[in-house]
Copies of this chain bind each other. A is one copy, B any other.
Amino acid sequence: MSTSVTVLAGGVGGARLAHGFALALPDGGAPADGGGLTCVVNVGDDTERHGLHVSPDLDTVMYTLARLNDEERGWGLTDESYATLAQLERLGEDTWFTLGDKDLATHVVRTARLREGVPLSEVTAALTAALGVRARLLPVTDDPLRTRVSTPSGTLAFQEYFVRRQHADAVLGLTFDGIGSARPAPGVLDAVTGPDLLVVAPSNPFLSVEPVLGVAGVRDAVRTSPARRVAVSPIVGGQAVKGPAAQVLETLGHEVSALGVARLYAGVVDTMVIDDADAALAGPVEDLGLDVIVTDTIMRGPAGRERLARELLATVGPR
């Protein structure tokens, strides 16, 4: 038997930790002997660009696990060109959402299959297989789910907020259109209740994790899962490792610290992973009724990812 791990993931933070598990588990996290890696990924940031269905978080995880991602930039593929985008601009399209030529192939195929009625989860399985990803990627839902961001400038579609306006607006509130009727994609609830280790990735708690937990049945399945349930804080030393997590916590009235994050996840997970830099917060986090792991959470390069993954795997022991 090998260990089974499920990661609840948004974009970059989720992708990096998932990559760590893919490196730490046998055969890149391929399902075997009851073990393997499953990523349940946010789709609230999905968008339509030029008529194509784009799933940025799914693609970030997929490209990262396929070792095709642009590590430096955090999104998209390495060795990209932008000939189609330049021509789209010439044809009068709004091109603030950067799409590379290779990346476009993903969106073209995904859109074609979705139009044929193939569910997103099946499309994702085909794309990951084609790119040689051994782990299993699941969109949290096959149903439409779109994050909308309330800001002082009005309500924005997620990618308007995140990419076009570079998450510069204060986040006053969030809505997740469709979340009331979205059903978990096939395999999602099993992936939450079944594994040895269930990890909430160091993704944005509100922008990335909430639209995963908020899908019908997922939060309860996490709460009651017999798995070891671990969350990794995306806040280190009072700052977000990447992205707008700090601002979002602040404007939504939460403490911008690993403790603030722990308060959000108390009752959802049983263990909180905080960075060495936040060792002083271990006591207050424990006071929330959570086990605490204090370690280096920054995941510098593949080795750093694998090290963190192995440390988390150690909490469930060998099987």
Residues of A within 8 A of B (CB): 50-52, 80-81, 83-88, 90-93, 100-102, 104-106, 108-109, 111-113, 115-116, 126-127, 130-131
Contact across chains for A130 and B51 when beta carbons are under 8 A apart: no
- Most chain B C-beta atoms within 10 Å of own C-beta, residue among A51, A80, A116: A51
* A50 and B109 contacting across the interface, CB-CB below 8 Å: yes
Q: Quick check: B84 and A108 within 8 Å, CB to CB?
A: yes
- How far does the Cβ of A98 sit from chain B's closest Cβ, in whole Å? 14
Task: Pick the residue among B84, B92, B105 that contacts A102 (CB under 8 A).
Answer: B84
- Distance in angstroms between the alpha carbons of A102 and B83 in the assembled complex: 6
Collect the chain B residues with CB atoms within 8 Å of residue A92's CB.
Answer: 109, 126, 130
How many copies altogether? 2
Given contacts A83-B83, A84-B102, 4 further A-B contacts (CB under 8 A): A52-B112, A81-B83, A84-B105, A88-B105
Question: When the two chains form their complex, are residues B126 and A101 in contact, meaning their CB atoms are under 8 A apart?
Answer: no
Shortest CB-to-CB span from A102 to chain B, Å, is 4
Q: Which residues of B contact A116 (CB under 8 A)?
A: 51
CA distance A90 to B77 in the complex (A): 14
13 contacts between A and B (CB under 8 A): A50-B108, A50-B109, A51-B109, A52-B112, A80-B83, A83-B83, A83-B101, A84-B84, A90-B130, A90-B131, A91-B127, A93-B109, A101-B101
Among B91, B106, B115, B126, the residue within 8 A (CB) of A106 is B91
Nearest CB in chain B: distance from A82 CB, A: 9
What B residues does A90 contact at CB under 8 A?
A: 105, 130-131
Contacts of A109 in B (CB 8 A): 50-51, 88, 91-93
A88 to B, closest residue via Cβ: B105
Q: Min CB distance, A65 to chain B, in Å?
A: 15
State how many angstroms separate the Cβ of A92 from the closest Cβ of chain B: 5
Chain B residues with CB under 8 A of A106: 87, 91
A88 touches B108 (CB 8 A): yes
A101-B87 contact, Cβ under 8 Å, with A50-B109, A108-B52, A109-B50 = yes
Cβ–Cβ contact B130 & A105, under 8 A: no
Q: How far is the CA of A37 from the CA of B25 in the complex (A)?
A: 66
Contact A105:B87 (CB < 8 A) given known A51-B112, A111-B51: yes
**Docked CA distance A156–B105 (Å):** 27
Assembled-state Cα–Cα distance A126/B111 (Å): 23
Distance between A107 CB and nearest chain B CB, rounded to angstroms: 9
